[in-house]
Structure 1
Amino acid sequence: MGEIELGVLHGDGIGAEIVPATVAVVDAALAAAGASPIRWRELPYGRAAIDTHGDSLPAETVDALASMAGWILGPHDNAAYPAEHRARTAPGGRIRKQFGLYANIRPAAALPGIHALRPDLDVVIVRENTEGFYADRNMAVGSGEFKPTVDVALAVGVFTRPACERIARVACELAATRRKRLTIVHKANVLPLAMGMFLEACHAVAREYPGLHVDDEHVDAMAAHLVRGGDFDVIVTENMLGDILSDLAGELSGSLGLAASLNSSDTQAMAQAAHGAAPDIAGRNRANPTALFLSAALLLEWLARQRADRRLHDAARRIRHAISGTLGSGVATADLGGLASTNEFTELVLARVGRRG
């Protein structure tokens, strides 16, 4: 297969530590799997880009990403940007909207050596990423929030049948590769038009997959099920509900510091950890890179499907096994109660990547 070019956007805070570590782990996994190396292209992004280009997401970065199949995105800390830049949509949200990254894939499964409130949890939450009630995503121009008076605020939630159907299809395809169970999460009892259409569209698409067991749950019931021990496989839901449930599932399975995330369209994908920029520990060699390592593994699997290249699948598997082996041996960063620095944890993962054939 031909060479792949992927973007590298360090972002803010701990991004300068965990993104280079992730690139090193991906390179090692590819080499061990016998896959073609990736050509990485670093692009300006975040606070550093404001200083050099006057924008946290410069036009040259957007233009470069348009020609790429994927990229690794570090966290942003737009709360610390100058006031005029804080008022804009966060750069990560601008990227998702610019490239129509409609599918947010968020696995949650307990890892060896990690205390988890739900050690048996193994779910993937498939979140519609472009519509719903989030003002930075559901309007072509302007915000989905507005105030007709100073004391009245309104928010517009947008649901379209094509968007509901395409996220349902992503979830069904994923469920078909796992335990063949799909759960549709909604609040159609309260929003019968908007979420009712989401529920109806998901059921309609799921009927195209006769091998799946399909059910649905109200979001409040699903939150309770996740906490107390319900058995679920793939969960598909709309934007805001998916954001909340995936963070809950991440904590239940161990920590948001372990929570991987992939944002994708049909032609492009972005690896982005679920956690933030952690500016309080930035530059101190204490950051946990695990979530971004696992996000990069999701990106490799996405590329493997796009290119029909099993070596990329193997590279992703090696990353997961190396992380499991390292954590299972009792080595962890400070956020997980361990003593390892970012560099020490990364070096141990790198050493394990090549061990499994």
Structure 2
Amino acid sequence: MALHRITALPGDGTGREVMTEAMKLLRTIESNSPMDFQITEIQCGGQHYLETGEEWPEGSFEYCRDESDAILLGAIGWPGATMPNGDLAGGQVILGLRSGLDLYANVRPIKLYKGIQHKIHGGFKQVWSPDLVDMVVVRENTEGLYQTLLSRSSHAAQGIPYPSVPEIEIPGMDGEFAWDPRPISRKGSERVIRFAFDIAERRSGTPSDGTSRVSCIDKSNVTRGCQLFRSIYLEIAENHPDIETDMAYIDAFTMWLVRQPEFYDVVVTSNMFGDIATDLASTLQGGMGMAASANIGDDHMMFEPVHGSSPKYTGKGVVNPIAMLSSVQMMLDWLGRRSGDTDATVAAEIVESAIENQVSEGATLTYDLGGEASTSDVSDAICARVASMLATHYASA
């Protein structure tokens, strides 16, 4: 029986609330399977900064790095919580870990379950077909337009002074201006594009016709970084003749994503493009309350819902916990994949089935899906399904 060391970072606002439900799910799995979790919770984020003057306790980064098989994050960000230099309070946590642990692949599945009603024009109706929305977006996670902030946060998390950046002059820019460099490297591009092709090799292809396809999304008609990214994509694609290539500019992609999602299997793109496009894509699956993500590196991994801390809903007990529970599902899948723990793989499959069944029946759902259930009502119902399905599985094993 494998022991999996999980570091839980609740963070801010509703991140704390959905983390409670994640712990409930892990304890349910532990009680109904051979799996064993050693869970360490570390308070962190903007609220913690306002309360204590620190983003997280000293040594937290090192603990996540050295004592964790996986990290589970709630959400980071709180009104008024800003560092003296203007950076996000809590940036050491979410950004420092992404950069400092070299979590270069941000993985965001976009899958629509049966029973989901899309909130459009203030009402609920099914807009997209569940049989035609099933893709994975792989976003480069350590470079691009966010690289400077990522690097500053990583340095701060490890107590390393950040080097001063020389002043520059930009022709045609007079007076006060701000700038953010957008470095895109061969190394960073190669590894995330290879990662995307590896995922495509494991999937069943597009929802429409089963074609295995990796779509490269960029703006290579304008930026040199994207030109490098696309050229590397084409190089790597040559090693995967069984996977169809596809390329599009980010502006056109956002249109086709909404109009023809069934065309997409795996999408690979740079940091900011992926950040924005996946928030849009969450609409296809029912909103941010359904959107889970993984941050994967060669040696470390972190899982989190795509949604933020939602201050206006904090304390009301109404937010959808499914994005967090699906993030736990992704964590279990990756733990099984990397450790060879078949019980983790079984648990991941059962959690996904429990969520899918819960949504398709539509009995207990939160407000964002047209229901009236509380956060804990939904997770309790899903945990009950998980417990029953695990019991059935191990009784027949």
| TM-score interval, normalised by the smaller of the two chains | over 0.9
Is 1:237 the counterpart of 2:253 in the alignment?
no
Equivalent of residue 360 in structure 2, options 307, 324, 328: 328
Partner of 1:16: 16
Q: Does the CA-based 8 Å contact 1:80-1:86 persist in structure 2? A: no
Give distance in 2, aligned partners of 1:142 and 1:337. Answer: 50
Give distance in 1, aligned partners of 2:267 and 2:95. Answer: 23
Q: How far 1:109 sits from its partner (Å)?
A: 1.0
Is 1:76 the counterpart of 2:76 in the alignment?
yes
Aligned residue pairs: how many?
355
Partner of 1:207: 238
Is 1:125 the counterpart of 2:150 in the alignment?
no
Equivalent of residue 170 in structure 1, options 192, 195, 219: 195
Seen in structure 2, the aligned counterparts of structure 1 residues 345 and 101 have a Cα distance that, compared at 3 Å, is same
Is 1:198 the counterpart of 2:219 in the alignment?
no
Seen in structure 2, the aligned counterparts of structure 1 residues 150 and 274 have a Cα distance that, compared at 3 Å, is farther
Give distance in 2, aligned partners of 1:254 and 1:64. Answer: 35
Partner of 1:137: 150
Q: Does the CA-based 8 Å contact 2:7-2:72 persist in structure 1? A: yes
Q: Does the CA-based 8 Å contact 1:49-1:58 persist in structure 2? A: no
**Amino acid in structure 2 at the alignment position of 1:170:** F
Following superposition of structure 1 onto structure 2, how do residues 214-229 of structure 1 map, counting pairs within 5 Å?
214-229=245-260
Equivalent of residue 285 in structure 2, options 233, 253, 257: 253
Give distance in 2, aligned partners of 1:348 and 1:63. Answer: 36
**Amino acid in structure 2 at the alignment position of 1:118:** W
Q: Does the CA-based 8 Å contact 1:182-1:234 persist in structure 2? A: yes
Indicate the structure (1 or 2) with the bigger Cα radius of gyration: 2
Q: Does the CA-based 8 Å contact 2:47-2:78 persist in structure 1? A: no
Q: How far 1:51 sits from its partner (Å)?
A: 5.3
**Amino acid in structure 2 at the alignment position of 1:207:** E
Deviations 1:188-214 (A, max 9, x none): 1111x3111111112212222232112
Q: Does the CA-based 8 Å contact 1:287-1:341 persist in structure 2? A: yes
**Amino acid in structure 1 at the alignment position of 2:182:** G
Seen in structure 2, the aligned counterparts of structure 1 residues 342 and 88 have a Cα distance that, compared at 3 Å, is closer
Give distance in 1, aligned partners of 2:164 and 2:137. Answer: 26
Partner of 1:61: 60
Give distance in 2, aligned partners of 1:138 and 1:53. Answer: 24
Q: Does the CA-based 8 Å contact 1:29-1:318 persist in structure 2? A: no
Give distance in 2, aligned partners of 1:145 and 1:298. Answer: 41
Is 1:36 the counterpart of 2:35 in the alignment?
yes
Partner of 2:341: 309
Where in structure 1 are there 5+ consecutive unaligned residues? none
**Amino acid in structure 2 at the alignment position of 1:133:** L
Give distance in 2, aligned partners of 1:146 and 1:226. Answer: 40
**Amino acid in structure 2 at the alignment position of 1:3:** L
Partner of 1:186: 218
TM norm structure 2: 0.83
Give distance in 1, aligned partners of 2:86 and 2:42. Answer: 21
Q: Does the CA-based 8 Å contact 1:145-1:156 persist in structure 2? A: no
Identity of aligned residues (%): 29
Aligned to 1:152, the other structure's residue is in SS state coil
Q: How far 1:29 sits from its partner (Å)?
A: 3.1
RMSD: 2.2
TM norm structure 1: 0.92
Is 1:99 the counterpart of 2:120 in the alignment?
no
**Amino acid in structure 1 at the alignment position of 2:114:** P
Is 1:153 the counterpart of 2:178 in the alignment?
yes
Partner of 1:265: 297
Q: Does the CA-based 8 Å contact 1:127-1:237 persist in structure 2? A: yes
Give distance in 2, aligned partners of 1:4 and 1:63. Answer: 18
Q: Does the CA-based 8 Å contact 2:137-2:274 persist in structure 1? A: yes
Q: How far 1:78 sits from its partner (Å)?
A: 3.7
Q: How far 1:265 sits from its partner (Å)?
A: 0.7
**Amino acid in structure 1 at the alignment position of 2:138:** V
Stretch of structure 1 that moved more, 259-268 or 207-216: 207-216
**Amino acid in structure 1 at the alignment position of 2:74:** G
**Amino acid in structure 1 at the alignment position of 2:370:** G
Aligned to 1:136, the other structure's residue is in SS state helix
**Amino acid in structure 1 at the alignment position of 2:186:** R
Aligned to 2:299, the other structure's residue is in SS state coil
Q: How far 1:315 sits from its partner (Å)?
A: 0.7
Seen in structure 2, the aligned counterparts of structure 1 residues 315 and 85 have a Cα distance that, compared at 3 Å, is farther
Q: Does the CA-based 8 Å contact 2:105-2:295 persist in structure 1? A: yes
Seen in structure 2, the aligned counterparts of structure 1 residues 250 and 76 have a Cα distance that, compared at 3 Å, is same
Where in structure 2 are there 5+ consecutive unaligned residues? 119-126, 156-161, 206-211
Stretch of structure 1 that moved more, 44-53 or 108-117: 44-53
